[in-house]
A = this chain, B = another copy of it.
Amino acid sequence: MSSIAQGARARARNEITAAIKEEARRQLAAQGAARLSLRAVARELGMVSSALYRYFPSRDDLLTALIVDAYNSLGEAAEAAADASADAEPLVRWTAVCEAVRRWALAHPHEYALIYGSPVPGYEAPETTIPAAARVGKTLIGVVRAAHRGPGLALLNLPGELRPEAERMAADFAPDLPPETVAALVAAWAQLYGLVGFELFGQFHRVVEDREAFFRHAVTRLAQGVGLH
């Protein structure tokens, strides 16, 4: 198994699973997660709804699969932006990654809402989503790390009460970077999400008009807060 030559049955299963996800993603993009209907997906694929449960044991499992895909798609967009600007200055790369995130969000609003929207009930992020979710963060770390290796990173200071926390985060995610930088990076990451979310979810309606320019400026200041220049 796991070879190219798999049985006809396994091959069909993979194809059908992919077709289900594809149609589900279409409905998600068109109408949002709330209106995603298993029965409608099955109907569109010409199968009966109960047959779909052979491939996804529940609606939530389908949504989880879509979440992982969305995380990966967003992560790819961020990584592509970082790679494409690999030779540029750190600050340019930073804004390139941030703008890639924003563009992806504007192009896939329902997917963005699905992953960064409101999964409040306690917590429920299945294990499988975690590595995919970390890709954007890892990309930002990579940009900062490149700056750190060059001369492009300023030192920050940190209140004493936050030092242990910062050292723990640094040890977990980027032992080669100064703890102050890692702490600032995590905050900047959350704030990037705030900027994108506010625009996407309509909070900038009748407040910010030139959102592109506004975003670029805000994101530049974010980078400065991390020490890039």
How many angstroms from the CA of A189 to the CA of B198 in the assembled complex?
9
Segment with Cβ contacts to B, from A10-18, A96-104, A120-128: A120-128
Taking CB atoms and an 8 Å cut-off, the chain A residues in 176-215 that contact chain B are 183-184, 186-187, 189-195, 197-205, 207-210, 213-214
Nearest to A222 among chain B residues (CB) is B191
Judging by beta carbons under 8 Å apart, are A207 and B169 in contact? yes
Selected interface stretch from A46-54, A86-94, A154-162: A154-162
| Interface assignment of A34: CB less than 8 Å from any CB of chain B | yes
Are A120's CB and B201's CB within 8 A? yes
Is A58 an interface position by the 8 A CB rule? no
- For the complex, what is the distance from the CA of A13 to the CA of B183, rounded to whole Å? 53
Q: How far is the CA of A173 from the CA of B208 in the complex (A)?
A: 11
Q: A207-B186, A208-B169, A210-B162 are in contact. Are A225 and B221 (CB under 8 A)?
A: yes
Cross-interface CB contact of A123 among B32, B205, B218, cutoff 8 Å: B205
Does A152 lie at the interface of the complex (its beta carbon under 8 Å from any beta carbon of B)? no
A183 touches B121 (CB 8 A): no
Copies of the chain in the assembly = 2
B209, A168: Cβ atoms under 8 Å?
yes
Residues of chain A from 34 to 89 with CB closer than 8 A to chain B in the complex: 34
Chain A 112-133 interface mask (CB, 8 Å, partner B; 1/0): 0110111111010100000001
A201 touches B118 (CB 8 A): yes
Q: How far is the CA of A210 from the CA of B218 in the complex (A)?
A: 26
Q: Is the CB of B213 within 8 A of A162?
A: yes
Q: Tell me the A residues contacting B by CB distance below 8 Å.
A: 31-34, 109-110, 113-114, 116-121, 123, 125, 133, 158-159, 161-162, 164-165, 168-169, 172-173, 183-184, 186-187, 189-195, 197-205, 207-210, 213-214, 217-218, 221-222, 225
